[in-house]
Amino acid sequence: MGPWAIVLNPIHASGRRRCAELTALLADRGIPWTLHRTTPVHEGEEQAAAAVCAGAARIVVVGGDGTVRSAVRGMMAAEGEGADLPPLALVPTGTANLFARNLGVTPGPASVSRQFAAEVRRADVGIAVIRTRTGAEVREVFLAAAGLGRDAATIMGLTDRAKRVLGWPAYLVAGLRHLGDAGTRVHVRWHDGEFRGPAWSVLAGNVAGLPGLIRVFPRAAPDAGDLELLVCTPRSVRDWARIACFGLLGQDEAPAVLAYHRCAWAEIVPAAPAPIHLDGEPFPNVARLRISVLPGALSVAV
């Protein structure tokens, strides 16, 4: 069996501390390990791909959602979609840590010690094919959510300083400035339906909760085998109040301005190029977004 490979985003002091704790525990147990630091240019994809090709027994990502997404993209590129990959383990040290939190892995020292008692479960991987306004296509992965519209514009406007100072509430504070924005005209298709018209956002979720674990996708789960599609069309303060009650208070019935659909794939075409995000990473000027899911493509130690 090969060594454990640690993919570390060293930007946060907490990440460096968790990595030191992990390597000390691995040494105590006689488990060999290799360390792969990310950089602003190489954010985890190349490091994880190299670890898979070298026969790593486990890939441990110490970082946030962006580092996890990059590492998974590299793992899948190294062996191909559908290949039997080594288990992924998570030591979350980012701002939102959406994928980790929805799997029950929370930031802190406990995320290190639990590595040695973790069970392996299967998780789905979302696939996004992005067409830019120039016609170029890019294939990406996502693990928590993909979205187009004002939520993506909110994420694009966030500064690193705001995320560092406020943590995940930075997303909510920034989002308040966009509540009154007009919707983006979109054409959304999925296997048994479509929507045409203005939408504040169109989201596809692979997990139930987004920043702060606010319930956004009540029936989504990392191993559900499909995505939950949400077309959000609020037009008034009253609509937003209903949305807040649903997301924060756990009401059973979603308001009419939140239209949910289960789907294996969906295609979102804005009337004019618009921003999207994948797990909180923004992509500007997108002319078409096609999303699908690879059921159980990833083994995760949780």
DSSP the chain: ---EEEEE-TTSHHHHHHHHHHHHHHHHTT--EEEEE--SSS-SHHHHHHHHHTT-SEEEEEE-HHHHHHHHHHHHHHH-TT--PPPEEEEE-SSS-HHHHHTT--SSTHHHHGGGTPPEEEEEEEEEEEEETTS-EEEEEESSEEEEEHHHHHHHT--HHHHHHH-THHHHHHHHTTTTSPPEEEEEEETTEEEEEEESEEEEESSSEEGGGEES-TT--TTSSSEEEEEE---SHHHHHHHHHHHHH--SSPPTTEEEEEESEEEEEESS-EEEEETTEEEEEEEEEEEEEEEEEEEEE-
Instruction: Supply the pLDDT for residue 177.
Output: 55
Mean pLDDT of the chain: 87
Instruction: Supply the pLDDT for residue 89.
Output: 97
Instruction: Supply the pLDDT for residue 172.
Output: 45
Q: What is the mean pLDDT of residues 31-37?
A: 97
pLDDT exceeding 70 applies to what percent of the chain? Answer: 84
Is the pLDDT at 197 greater than 50? The verdict is yes
Distances (CA, A) of 252 to 137, 219, 235, 248: 39, 11, 22, 11
Residue 260: name the closest of 222, 219, 292 by CA: 219
pLDDT digits (tens, 9 = 90+) for 225-260: 999 999 989 888 888 788 777 777 766 788 898 999
Contacts 24+ apart (CB under 8 A), 172-181: 172/211, 172/212, 175/151, 178/150, 178/151, 178/153, 178/154, 179/234, 179/240, 181/150, 181/153
Q: What is the mean pLDDT of residues 100-116?
A: 91
pLDDT digits (tens, 9 = 90+) for 130-164: 999 999 999 999 999 999 987 776 655 444 553 44
- In this prediction the pTM is 0.88
**HEC secondary structure over 278-291:** ECCEEEEEEEEEEE
